[in-house]
Amino acid sequence: MPGSAHEPASPPAYVRLGGAADTDVVARMFFELWPEGPLAEHREDAALILAGAPPSTLPLVVFVAEARGVVVGFIEVGLRSHADGCDTRRPVGFIEGWYVEPSRRGSGVGRALMRAAEEWTRSQGCRELASDTWIDHESSQRAHEALGFEVVDRCVNFKKVLQ
Ligand SMILES: CC(C)(COP(=O)(O)OP(=O)(O)OC[C@H]1O[C@@H](n2cnc3c(N)ncnc32)[C@H](O)[C@@H]1OP(=O)(O)O)[C@@H](O)C(=O)NCCC(=O)NCCS
């Protein structure tokens, strides 16, 4: 839904749905957030999502925060069929990624992005929004809590390569 926009109460930044023109800056921020993946792969993903053709079966969008014409953060939000601690009978919104440039943190940009993600999730007919973060990432946990999220679970992921 290009053109939809969300204004924070005291605008530290303007939040809008990302579009194809944001591909380079969003890909770079994907890489800042998830440096384990190659930039080229992030660029492919960003291009698909921002063009409205996400590599997922359920809807997935990216909102960007702009300050004086410069993109300073993004939130990637999509639907999942279920999420830990949520009502298993209906899809939920899920925060796949949330990032603000280090120099812009602590001034309400993250909150404005989260508000846009919440509004989008409601518009998809969902009643719950879920998210996750790394177990040792205290600042992200505090930010989630400040915005009304509650911890539902802590887990350790395993894998085993089958011969
Ligand atoms: C998490 C992140 C997106 C928050 O963005 P931000 O612009 O700094 O957030 P805001 O300034 O809007 O703060 C939102 C709320 O979280 C709180 N908060 C943010 N960072 C915090 C921290 N390090 N410690 C405690 N509270 C914090 C703020 O106090 C604010 O609550 P308040 O309005 O009640 O004071 C940003 O810090 C970031 O990009 N971090 C690195 C990437 C990351 O961890 N992403 C999340 C996992 S995907």
Q: pLDDT tens-digit profile of 2-36?
A: 445 555 444 568 999 999 999 999 999 999 999 99
Phi, psi of 138 (to 5 degrees): -60, -45
pLDDT at residue 82 tops 70? yes
Within a domain: 151: no
Burial of 82 (0-12, 13-18, 19+ CB in 10 A): middle
What integer best gives the mean pLDDT of the chain?
93
In a domain, residue 19? The reply is yes
Residue 127 within any structural domain of the chain: yes
pTM passes above 0.75: yes
CATH code of residue 80: 3.40.630.30
- Indicate whether 161 belongs to any domain: no
Whether residue 20 lies inside any domain: the answer is: yes
106: left (phi over 0), alpha (psi -120 to 50) or beta: left
What confidence tens digit (pLDDT) does each residue in 93-120 have? 999 999 999 999 999 999 999 999 999 9
Q: Provide the domain count of the chain.
A: 1
- Which residues have C-beta atoms less than 6 Å from ligand 1? 33, 97-100, 105-111, 133, 137, 139-140, 142-143, 146-147
CA of 144, closest atom in ligand 1? 16
106 Cα to the center of ligand 1, angstroms: 6
